[in-house]
Amino acid sequence: GESVGLHLPTLSVQEGDNSIINCAYSNSASDYFIWYKQESGKGPQFIIDIRSNMDKRQGQRVTVLLNKTVKHLSLQIAATQPGDSAVYFCADTDVNAGGTSYGKLTFGQGTILTVHP
């Protein structure tokens, strides 16, 4: 992610809407990508990950899309709920030559998601 801190983008949605949170990363060698959710007073919580050999991965109510050509990652949350209100971070890391060991995570600046009932 590009940590250029910090005037966080914000996204405000109505309960039940779908949310899309975007992230740009800068390292063309990045191989592994993670989305985290951080609620006030808590540590980042893992949501979903994706490796560079995929362009889409789905979880429960969440989908991550990866576009390596433009170094862009997005998180889609279906039927957004008030409990989804938090700051969302993308993070990326590269992998060693053998493809077996991941390096340090670099975080994006985060996006504040607010869900209105």
Q: Which residues bind another protein (CB under 8 A)?
A: 3, 5-6, 32, 34, 36, 42-46, 49, 51, 89, 93, 95, 100-110
In the bound state with another protein, the residue whose beta carbon lies nearer, of 18 and 96, is 96
Q: Please state the closest distance from residue 13 (CB atom) to another protein, in A.
A: 23
What is the smallest separation between the CB atom of 4 and another protein, expressed in angstroms?
8
Longest dimension (CA), the chain: 48
Residue pair 95/88 in contact (Cβ under 8 Å)? The answer is no
Identify the CA nearest to 116 among candidates 87, 77, 83.
83
8 Cβ neighbours under 8 A, 6+ residues apart = 87, 109, 110, 111, 112
Cβ-based nearer residue to another protein, 13 or 105: 105
CB 16 to another protein: min, Å: 28
